[in-house]
Structure 1
Amino acid sequence: MIDYTGLNMWEVQEMDLDVYLFMVREAFIHYNTQTKEGREYLENCWRMKQTKPDRKALREKVGKGAAKYGG
């Protein structure tokens, strides 16, 4: 996180907890976007957080038959 923000260790220690956690999150995302494997990991994390189905994508993948079953 120090590399990502450019702050020194003492400045990081003085951060409020919510700001620190936000910066750690942003640094984690930034560094994972640098590689193909990291981007795959982030996409899987996003996918696992979804609670509603993507009906359009399902219809494209499965076909129109899914629509008659309430899809």
Structure 2
Amino acid sequence: MGILRIVLTIIFVLVSLALTVIVLAQEGKSAGLGAIAGGNSFWEQNKGRSKEGQYVLYTKILAVAFIVLALLLNMSFI
């Protein structure tokens, strides 16, 4: 089981680095002038298709992978 632990640790480190890069690449959640106008703008309706929307999706996927790998590496039988 030593090889499995090494492989999972390498994947865990890569996921950690990718998660750090993706989080740092995102813009802040400041409201800006869109909140004054009501917030129901074209940007609000289509932000899932933008690069920022993709960053949010990748962040969620990497965060789940990070938690699952952390739990797996913490188990004593691996």
**TM-score over 0.5 for the pair:** no
TM-score by length of 1: 0.31
Larger CA Rg, structure 1 vs 2: 1
